[in-house]
Structure 1
Amino acid sequence: MIPGIDLIDFIKYVSVLGVALVIFAESGLLIGFFLPGDSLLFTAGFLTYAGILHVNIHLLVLIVFIAAVLGDSVGYAFGSKVGVHVFKRKDSLLFRQENILKAQTFYEKHGGITIIIARFIPIIRTFAPVIAGVAKMKYKTFLSYNLIGALLWAAGITYLGYFTGKWFKQAGIDIDTVLIPIVLLIIFFSVLPPAIHILKDKKQRDALWDG
């Protein structure tokens, strides 16, 4: 099946709760870096305007925002509890020390604002909260950055999808004819970073082909 259709059907099937769970997993679980957070939010916003996803757009943004905040908080708690032992975790198809080290380098360079910036960077956004926990950033400080980043990300991308749909409608363009191409484009750019990461890594590539 076409990925764009799969994502549209997925959102229609799982509705708002499913979208929230995916966002939570991408934000809070170390294996969630491959999940399509950006494309999911954009498509959900687009489908909301099109009347396919039956939810108020502002409520959708609120739910996604809460899921993102909770997910990051779980990642922070994990990093805080496990500490430096996370750097000793063995590599697997869905976990690479390289990802943790990249997030650590990014954190050391940008400091606390990493939590905000990382929201818009696939892979880094999954591991940044963990690094903040390992670094023992005060939770109040982390939460402040977390709230700002989650709001900008959840509202920005979801509303972008919604108003893109509105713009097409006002321009007299049939939403049904452009929905799948747009979703495919968003998916492409969303999965490109993790796909490149996996394919350029021989161990992960071999594990993928063998699996």
Structure 2
Amino acid sequence: MDLLSALVGLINDPRAAIAAWIVALGPVLVYTPLFLIVFVETGLVFFPFLPGDSLLFAAGVFSAEGGGLNLAATLAVFISAAILGNTSNYWIARFFGTRIIDSGKVKAFTPERVAKLDRFFERYGGLTIVITRFMPFFRTFAPFVAGTGHMNFAKFTLYNAVGGIAWVSSFVLLGYFFGGLPFVQDHFEVIVLLIVGVSVLPAIVGAAKGLIAARSGK
């Protein structure tokens, strides 16, 4: 129950969670939970709901002067976690992908999402790994699908690195440069919801287009 409460609190208010970790763990060990959350979200298909985007933004806020985190360290830790997480996800899929999909135990891994990712790979190729970095849920599943046979490891590694650096840098630097503004501080929860909403928007638009196309076909 404590773990569940902690996860709910993290999703609802990542700023409060990071502040508590800084106080409890200090300026060095605080990077351990930050690394683990991003690694688990990107590395294990069972945890696509973890708040990657909002966590990066909030960490960027605390990386400003006097916030308790160091910008260079924050970027390095998150980029490492994002790249290593995707790499882990890829190799899990190479060895166990078919069995995991067929088991149906990953409820969020629906046939519709798999089909959508298949279309992404057909249309964008390796860029799918970069594009889906900015899409919650899909960024967790894309490296898994890549590992089931869509991409060789060398090509995957290149796009994985580009996507990881772009994703982490974008959200951390947004928080770093704009998180200290009074408006952002006063409406932080709303800003976090907007970040999540903008991240999810491409998936919603894609689903709507697919539904319209399916109805037109009928």
Q: TM-score range by the shorter chain?
A: 0.7 to 0.9
1:141 aligns with 155
Distance 1:189 1:116, change over 3 A: closer
Quick one: which amino acid aligns to residue 24 of structure 1? F
- Structure having greater relative contact order (Cα 8 Å, sep ≥ 6): 1
- Cα offsets for 1:78-125 (capped at 9, x unmatched): 111124334312155444343333222222221111111111111111
Q: Deviation of residue 25 (structure 1)?
A: 1.0
Query: Residue 155 of structure 1 is aligned with which of 169, 188, 203?
Result: 169
Distance in 1 (CA, whole Å) between partners of 2:137 and 2:41 is 9
Residues 89, 97 of structure 1: 8 Å contact kept: no
Does residue 32 (structure 1) correspond to residue 86 (structure 2)? The answer is no
1:7 aligns with 14
Distance in 2 (CA, whole Å) between partners of 1:122 and 1:137 is 21
Moved more, 29-38 or 86-95: 86-95
Q: Deviation of residue 35 (structure 1)?
A: 1.2
Quick one: which amino acid aligns to residue 192 of structure 2? V
Does residue 41 (structure 1) correspond to residue 56 (structure 2)? The answer is yes
Distance 1:92 1:59, change over 3 A: closer
Quick one: which amino acid aligns to residue 154 of structure 1? V
Q: Deviation of residue 191 (structure 1)?
A: 6.9
1:31 partner SS: coil
Quick one: percent identity of the two aligned structures? Answer: 35
What CA RMSD, in Å, does the superposition of the two structures yield over aligned residues? Answer: 2.9
Quick one: which amino acid aligns to residue 71 of structure 2? I
Residues 87, 97 of structure 1: 8 Å contact kept: no
1:98-109 equivalence runs, <5 A: 98-109=112-123
Distance 1:141 1:187, change over 3 A: closer
1:47-196 equivalence runs, <5 A: 47-49=62-64, 51-52=66-67, 54-91=68-105, 93-135=107-149, 137-166=151-180, 168=181, 173=182, 176-187=185-196, 189=198
Residues 100, 106 of structure 2: 8 Å contact kept: no
Q: Deviation of residue 187 (structure 1)?
A: 4.5
- TM-score of the superposed pair, with normalisation by structure 2: 0.74
Distance 1:174 1:115, change over 3 A: closer
- Cα offsets for 1:154-200 (capped at 9, x unmatched): 1111111111135x2xxxx37643434423433555578999xxxxx
Structure 2: runs of 5+ lacking an equivalent: 1-7, 22-29, 205-218
Distance 1:180 1:48, change over 3 A: farther
Residues 4, 184 of structure 1: 8 Å contact kept: no
Q: Deviation of residue 57 (structure 1)?
A: 0.7
2:32 aligns with 17
